[in-house]
Amino acid sequence: MIRVAILGATGYTARELLYLLIRHPEVEITTLTTRQETRPAVSEIHPSLRGRLDLTLENLSPREVAKRADCVFGCLPHAASAAAVSDLLEAGCRVVDFSADFRLDDPEIYQQWYNVEHPDPARMPGTPYGLPELFRESIRDAKLVANPGCYPTSAILALAPLLKAGVISPQGLIIDSKSGVSGAGRNPKPAFHFPECNENLAAYAVGQHRHTPEIDQILGTFASVETNVVFTPHLIPMDRGILTTAYADPVGNVEAGAILDVLREQYQDEPFVRVIDELPNTKNVAGTNFCEVTARVVNGKVVTISVIDNLIKGASGAAVQNFNLMYDFPETTALL
């Protein structure tokens, strides 16, 4: 059994992670932390866990956590996460980090977008990006894996194979994403109160969303040139799910069938990516680790549409998928 701890266990992604880990046959959940001074039972924070997990949340240092765990899932905010990860790795733990701290290679870009100096910049370039469908081999032996952002997952899975195959141009990429309210996290903010977000649709952080450099970095890896995406996120009045529509210029004359063939070839052996002919919708992947994607050619533009559950494939499901790879368990364990 692998002893597992979760840092920052009060949020939505931590709750979904606990649902998955409880049914994982090779996992013993030993430690849950919070930065709160009180020590509530986890069932007080997540009542749906009542009778399923009998643990108290504790305010522990990373070194104290490392004495109880072999692998740690970090659900802490950026910067705070990097500092904890460094101590955990030095103590011999393996880590799947949910924050943005190790997704980017360049500390200057990180500082530009996150407005803070990175606590552990030397570790950034060598950390595998935790999208197993595209980076599986680098994840297997990793001590630290950077779990991807939810928006980037939905966009990268749709566009990376097309850039790799050279059927779309890396320039002029437009990504339009719509996310359920849980993507904003559990901490209350005025824009996420029910009277504000219900029956409302709004764009936010236009040209300024922190997932933009993450998308560019990974897509640039597959394009072999720098990309400069226009990424616009929207908040929609539902609990969970992301639908991403991306627009690209084709290279030469291509038809939708050829685009779908590229996607199918890339993902034919992938258990969690379904390339479909019909238009996908979020309800069909809600509560699962699946991504569904399709493509069309419209007035000379390649249009891809992808859907994921932001809390599962966009966060906790991907983390368990990475964990399974790191410990050589079947990749679908606890996810199907």
71, 75, 150, 291: which is the annotated catalytic residue? 150
The tokens for 64 are 């104290």
Asked if 17 and 94 sit in the same domain, the reply is yes
**Residue 313 · residue 285 · CB < 8 Å:** yes
Asked if 238 and 288 sit in the same domain, the reply is yes
Asked if 173 and 73 sit in the same domain, the reply is no
For residue 194, the model assigns a pLDDT of: 80
Q: What is the mean pLDDT of the chain?
A: 95
- The reply to whether the predicted model has a pTM over 0.85 is yes
Asked if 90 and 158 sit in the same domain, the reply is no
The number of domains in the chain is 2
Asked if 114 and 154 sit in the same domain, the reply is no
For residue 303, the model assigns a pLDDT of: 98
190 burial level (CB within 10 Å; 0-12, 13-18, 19+):
exposed
CATH code assigned at 7 = 3.40.50.720
Residue 75 lies in a domain: yes
Residue 38 lies in a domain: yes
Asked if 104 and 202 sit in the same domain, the reply is no
Task: Read off the pLDDT of residues 145-171 as tens digits, 9 standing for 90 and up.
Answer: 999 999 999 999 999 999 999 999 999
Annotation marks residue 93 as catalytic:
no
CATH code assigned at 293 = 3.30.360.10
Q: Does the pLDDT at position 94 exceed 90?
A: yes
Asked if 121 and 190 sit in the same domain, the reply is no
Asked if 159 and 270 sit in the same domain, the reply is yes
Residue 252 lies in a domain: yes
Q: Exposed e or buried b for every residue in 244-268, given b needs 16+ CB within 10 A?
A: bbbbbebeeebeeebbbebbeebbe
Asked if 86 and 196 sit in the same domain, the reply is no
Asked if 271 and 229 sit in the same domain, the reply is yes
Residue 37 — very low, low, confident or very high, per pLDDT cuts 50/70/90?
Answer: low
Cross-strand bridge partners of residue 32: 6, 57
Task: Read off the pLDDT of residues 191-204 as tens digits, 9 standing for 90 and up.
Answer: 777 887 788 899 99
The range of the structural domain enclosing residue 102 comes to 2-127
Residue 289 lies in a domain: yes
Lowest mean pLDDT among 3-12, 35-44, 254-263, 303-312: 35-44
Q: Does the pLDDT at position 184 exceed 80?
A: no
